[in-house]
Amino acid sequence: MKNHKRLFLPLFAFLCLMLGNAAVAQQLPQERPPADVSGNWTIYSKSDNGKTATQSITLKQDGTTITGHFKGPHQSGSLKGTINVRHIVFRTDTREVLTFRGMVDGNTMQGNFGIRGVHGTWEARRPD
């Protein structure tokens, strides 16, 4: 019986250590805060049909919610969207709604856009 007690304690300690490590390994990673996208941006876009345009946006950010103003060559209006860590989505509240989706990397963003069935790519820059 004494041998069993001697074996039980180290075995119990080993199992506790292993279960503790497994629990730590299974914890979800801590959420990262959203990138800061507030400020003035210039967007350079190119549609699939080859047309290019330059637009500007002013963004305000409250956590993961984005609001602001859009100004393009043929229309302007408000915009709203969201940011999830580095993933950004926003839509213009204009006569012809533009939807922008992309990734943020510091003072640059890039992704895809759509308007009336026309799609393309965009890149935006914010002054340093």
Architecture of domain 39-125: Beta Barrel (2.40)
User: CB–CB of 43/56 below 8 Å?
Assistant: yes
pTM, to two decimals = 0.75
| Domain assignments of the chain as residue spans, ordered by start | 39-125
At 70 the pLDDT is 98
Query: Which amino acid, 65?
Result: T
Q: Report residue 41 CA to chain centroid gap.
A: 16
Query: How many angstroms separate the CA atoms of 32 and 50, rounded?
Result: 37
CA 10 to chain centre: 47
pLDDT per residue as tens digits for the range 49-108: 999 999 999 999 999 999 999 999 999 999 999 999 999 999 999 999 999 999 999 999
Residue with tokens 């003072």: 107
pLDDT exceeds 90 at position 36: yes
